[in-house]
Amino acid sequence: MEREKRDCILRGLICGGEVSIAVADTTQMINKAIEIHDLSALSAAALGRTLTAATYMCSSLKTEGAALSVTIKGDGIGGGIYVSGDKALHMRGYIENPHAELAANSKGKLDVGGCVGRNGYISVVRDDGENRPFVGTTSLVSGEIGEDFAAYFAYSEQLPTALAVGVRIGTEGQCLGAGGLFLQLMPGASEESIAFVERSIGKFSAISAMMQERTAQEVLRENFGEVQFYTQFPEYKCNCSRNYIEGVLTALGEKELRAAIAEQGKIEVHCHYCNTDYTFSKEDAEEIIRRMRGE
């Protein structure tokens, strides 16, 4: 069967409504990130896992204008990882060292833990569109990202969550399969449901290989039977534009704009998420100032 070409995340309930389940295919999103940032295999794996977990979190946002951002700061060679997304599942992100390289770990796999680091933190800022953002921060557990998100859910949000995230990179640097499985216990879940989650999650250590070979629907059906689910479609999409950047410059005020022009002769702004440079000449800045004055 030809695999689906569009990324998706499927969400539903199992165990009589006691467990929320989500299966995500993020293969195309990770390939877009690789293309934009020229990622090494190791950096793609680290950023891709973070993008996948953040996509799951954004899929639960309820209101228009809601948004979420994730920061992972460890002491590994990859540097910080930054991911943002919104209710529409427009996801974007970057890693400070896009070309990180390390020898394979003891299991012969990409050493994501070494890329991220084992000392540091994961921080999540969630704005539900009501100007009352929630901020949660936990220490890194291993740098393997999946384990770090599980710890975040348990300690910062008190939502016991078993999850597996993975990214499979081919010999030519492309993402062959990426995605995640998320099992979250609902309040009052029975011991039977808890045991089911603990048994089930162990089957998904190779989730990226599953996503290379199967669709998200097949993974869900083959492992959990006929589950009623709804589907959302994430994509890698930055929300910046020249008009958006002009708005940011307007917010700086006339004094700051004139100081920047006096120092450099122009204003340059780089968007890390989509790796785009915006340049504003002295004439551009003067036009922005005139509009600020209402002229």
Q: Which of 46, 44, 92 is nearest to 68 (CA)?
A: 92
The fraction of the chain above a pLDDT of 70, given in percent, is 98
Pairing of strands 67-74, 120-127: antiparallel
Mean of pLDDT values over 192-203: 95
Q: How confident is the model at residue 107 (pLDDT cuts 50, 70, 90)?
A: confident
Per-residue pLDDT of 221-236, as tens digits, reads 999 999 999 999 999 9
CA–CA distance, 73 with 56 (Å, rounded to integer): 20
What ranges do the domains of the chain cover?
Answer: 8-236, 242-293
Fold agreement between 8-236 and 242-293: no
Q: Which of 235, 233, 234, 227 is nearest to 21 (CA)?
A: 227
Query: What pLDDT sits at residue 235?
Result: 96
The fraction of the chain above a pLDDT of 90, given in percent, is 81
The CATH-assigned architecture of domain 242-293 is: Alpha-Beta Complex (3.90)
Mean of pLDDT values over 80-102: 97
Mean of pLDDT values over 86-115: 94
In the chain, at which residue ranges do the beta strands (DSSP E only) sit? 8-14, 19-25, 67-74, 81-86, 90-95, 120-127, 134-139, 161-169, 175-185, 229-232, 235-236, 266-271, 276-281
Q: How confident is the model at residue 252 (pLDDT cuts 50, 70, 90)?
A: confident
Q: Does domain 8-236 have CATH number 3.55.30.10?
A: yes
Whether the model pTM is above 0.85: yes
With 70 as the cut, is the pLDDT of residue 1 above it?
A: no
Query: What pLDDT sits at residue 295?
Result: 67
Per-residue pLDDT of 43-78, as tens digits, reads 999 999 999 999 999 999 988 889 999 999 999 999
Q: Give the strand order in the sheet containing 19-25.
A: 161-169, 175-185, 19-25, 8-14, 229-232
